Structure 1
Amino acid sequence: MSEQRTRPVFYAVWLIIAGVIGWWAAFQLTVEKFVLLADPDATLSCDLSSFIQCGKNLESWQGSVFGFPNPILGLTGWMAPIVVGVAVLAGARFPRWFWATFGAGILFAFGFVCWLIGQSIYDLVVLCPWCMVTWAVTIPTFFATVVHLFRNGTFSSSEKVQERAGRLMAWVPLATIVAYAIIVVMAQLKGIDFLGEIARLLF
């Protein structure tokens, strides 16, 4: 099941969808950061409650851990999945080193998101709406990319491994739901009534 014999259409489409959603979330956070810079006392549109807001995240040191606002990483980083997805749909074939580099970038994004989730829940004790959108697309993108890199021969030249990885792709949605559930449980145990907050905001 090498990439040369089958084009990963669904994976490519997902990369485009995830990239667009992730980029939009980063753009919205960037706009909110500009609002805060113009007026530190401003009430942001994403500040929905004491537990669900992005103002506290943007003003914290975790919100600029590399010396500049984290959303800038999203504005630039999410372009990569979009470009790769479009290129694959167009019939591009990339060498193993390219996929390995792309996988390393996705791994970094996943690790960074995991760290931010921990900081949001256990240190800041808030859940940022636009940040959660980013988490929501980064997690399945990571799972799908790991499986795809086994499937297309980047990690293994064994056809048996590639075939098994191909079958594992169907389990990515379930793994993603489990990951979401773990985040919700972590928040609930910390005292952030996430489900209750959502219910109050909706009803």
Structure 2
Amino acid sequence: MNQFPATRERVRTLAVFNIIAGAVGLFAAFELATEYIKKLKNPEYVTNCDLSILVTCGPNMESWQGSVFGFSNTILGLMMFTAPIFVGAALLAGARFNRFFWLLYLAGLTFGIGFVFWLSFQSIFIIGTLCPWCMVVWTATIPLFWINLSFALKHGVFGRKLPGLASWSWVAILASYLLIAVMAQANLNWIGQIF
């Protein structure tokens, strides 16, 4: 089987989820990009996400981790978050993608979640800040990966259908969020900063 059909309702739910999560990530990436440009124009500019010493995006944007590929990570976000929106819109329009497409899409999402965990580690343990717009990007990327992986497992994109594993995606999402929260608490005491 080269294409991966599912019930129309499940495909519609996946499509809408991809569009919403992609739009949330794209909005955060756009905000980061505009703040980055404003900071380039005026080094004294205080970004809209600089809320405190702990919750700020200025140090993240100015760090080497903020431009790890030689250009601002915001450009990656602006490019990459269009993919889930495209996939969702295409699914809503009735598209049925073959195995190669799903594997390629999942490869991109795997890069995305890996980059999110690397950036969260760098932000928490090296830079020592929590970037609000970055956290919105993390919040969108994590479920995008796990929900689409769940769909792939359930419909045999990897060759064998594994519906049992697919039903645990919500646990993986919560565990991913919890891991980042625990890392932040361990190194930055973010709960103590709030109260």
TM-score normalized by the length of structure 1:
0.88
Q: In the alignment, which residue of structure 2 is the partner of 1:114? A: 117
Q: Which runs of 4+ in 1 moved over 3 A?
A: none
Q: In the alignment, which residue of structure 1 is the partner of 2:32? A: 29
Alpha carbon RMSD of aligned pairs, Å? 1.6
Q: Secondary structure at the match of 2:122?
A: helix
1:165 Cα deviation after fit: 4.7
Q: Secondary structure at the match of 2:45?
A: coil
After superposition, give the CA deviation of every residue in 1:35-77 in whole Å (9 maximum; x if it has no partner).
Answer: 1101112211100010110000000011011111101101110
1:183 Cα deviation after fit: 1.1
The partner residue of 1:185 within 170, 182, 185 is 182
Note the 1:134-145 alignment, pairs <5 A.
134-145=137-148
Q: In the alignment, which residue of structure 1 is the partner of 2:190? A: 194
List alignment gaps of at least 5 residues for structure 1. Answer: none
After superposition, give the CA deviation of every residue in 1:4-47 in whole Å (9 maximum; x if it has no partner).
Answer: 24232222111001100000000000011011101112211100
Q: In the alignment, which residue of structure 1 is the partner of 2:105? A: 102
Contact in 1 for aligned 2:4/2:98 (Cα 8 Å): no
Q: Secondary structure at the match of 1:35?
A: helix
Count of residue correspondences: 191
Contact in 2 for aligned 1:148/1:165 (Cα 8 Å): no
Q: Does 1:175 align with 2:178?
A: no
Contact in 1 for aligned 2:57/2:131 (Cα 8 Å): yes
Matched residues, percent identical? 46
Q: In the alignment, which residue of structure 1 is the partner of 2:132? A: 129
Distance, in Å, in 2 between the alignment partners of 1:139 and 1:9 is 20
Q: 1:38 to 1:109 in 2, by over 3 A?
A: same
Q: Secondary structure at the match of 1:126?
A: coil
Contact in 1 for aligned 2:112/2:141 (Cα 8 Å): yes
Q: Secondary structure at the match of 1:174?
A: helix
